[in-house]
Amino acid sequence: MSWRRSAGKRADKRISASTTAVTPEYENGGVIPLFDNDSLALSREQLEEGAVLLRGFATAAGPALLEEMRRIEQAAAFRQLITPGGYTMSVAMTNCGRVGWVSDRSGYRYDPVDPNTGAPWPAMPESFRELAAAAAAEGGFAHYDPDACLINRYVAGAKLSLHQDRDEKDAWAPIVSVSLGLPTVFLWGGKRRSDPVRRLRLESGDVVVWGGPARFFYHGVAPLKDGQHPLTGDTRVNLTFRKVF
C-alpha cells in the first residue's frame, strides 16, 4: 500500500493521532500522504500545534543539498564546539548564511564570522533556501526567509542532549530541520525540562517544521547507531534553518 512508510509498525501511536482533517480513505493514524510512488513516499503529520513532520520531503533534493554542503565545508570546516561548561560536543558543526551558531567557553552566540577563519560564513545556497521555504509553507509558515543554517554532522555515538534553542529573537518563526543519511531517534519533550519525552524515528529526507507554540520545546538526539548510508556513508547530517533576527 502506498503510504506503508508511515503506517503500521513504523508509526509511533503516541504521536500520530492529532491530525484534524483526515480524509476517510487515508485513516491511518493521522498521517496524511501528500504524494508518492515506489521510491518516494511523502506524508505530512501534525506532531503538535506548530510542529509538522514531512516524511520524505527532502529525499529528491538530498544529493544536491549534500553537494552544496561539501562546498560549504571547504570554506568553513566541520568542528566540534566547546560548551560554556568546557565539554567538547560530540556533534560536528558548521554554518552557512548571514550568521552562524557557535559556542565556546564564553557562551553561545550567533556570529557573522567563522571564528576559525575570521571570514564570513559561506552564503546560504539557493537550493537550501528554497527547500526550507517550501517546507515552512507546507507547515503553515508563509514567506520563510531564514538567516542561518546550522549544519550538524553525527558519527556513531554522537548525540545532542535535551536542550532548548532560545538564542533567536523571532519566537514564532519555525526552525526547519532536514535529516539526511543515517536514521536517528529524535527526542522531544515539552516546554519544561521535566515534561515527558517522546521518541521519533527520523530517516533520510524527513523534514520537521517547528514553529509557533512548539518553538521552545525541549528536544535532543539519541546517540547515533553504526551504519552505512549511500548518501552520507557512516554519518547523519541535519540542516537546521533558523530565523535569528
Site residues (vs Fe ion, CB under 5 A):
165
Q: Please give the span between the terminal C-alpha atoms of the chain, in angstroms, as a whole number.
A: 44
Q: Which helix (DSSP H) or strand (DSSP E) does residue 71 occupy?
A: helix 62-75
Place of cell 507554540: 213
Q: Which stretch binds ligand MD3 (CB under 6 A): 26-34, 56-64, 211-219, 222-230?
A: 211-219
Q: Please report how close the Cβ of residue 24 comes to ligand MD3 at its closest, in angstroms.
A: 31
C-alpha cell of residue 80: 566540534
210 binds ligand MD3 (CB under 6 A): yes
Q: By CB under 6 A, tell whether 177 contacts ligand MD3.
A: yes
* 41 binds ligand MD3, rule: CB under 6 A: no
The DSSP secondary structure of 192-238, one letter per residue, reads: STTSPPEEEEE-TT-EEEE-GGGTT--EEEPPPPP--BTTTBT-EEE
Q: Please report whether residue 150 would count as binding ligand MD3 according to CB under 6 A.
A: yes
The reply on whether position 144 binds ligand MD3 by CB under 6 A is: no
What's the CA gap between 215 and 209, in Å, rounded?
9
In angstroms, what is the minimal distance from the CB of 12 to ligand MD3?
16
Residues contacting residue 74 through CB under 8 Å, at least 6 positions apart: none
Helix axes 62-75, 126-138, angle to 10 degrees: 130
In the complex, least distance from residue 91 CB atom to ligand MD3, rounded to whole angstroms:
7
Q: Closest separation between CB of residue 180 and Fe ion, Å?
A: 17
User: Which span sits near ligand MD3 by CB under 6 A: 25-33, 36-44, 73-81, 216-224?
Assistant: 216-224
Question: For 25, which DSSP code?
Answer: G
Q: What is the dihedral of CA 153, 155, 156, 161, to 10 degrees?
A: -40
Q: Which stretch in 3-11, 61-69, 74-82, 213-221 sits in contact with ligand MD3 by CB under 6 A?
A: 213-221
Between the alpha carbon of residue 119 and those of residues 111, 114, 242, the distances in Å are 11, 6, 20
Among 3, 128, 141, 217, binds ligand MD3 (CB under 6 A): 217
55 binds, among ligand MD3, Fe ion, none (CB under 5 to 8 A by kind): none
| Residue 232 is a binding residue for ligand MD3 (CB under 6 A) | no
Residues that bind ligand MD3 (CB under 6 A): 150, 152, 160, 165, 175, 177, 188, 208, 210, 214-215, 217, 219, 221, 238, 240
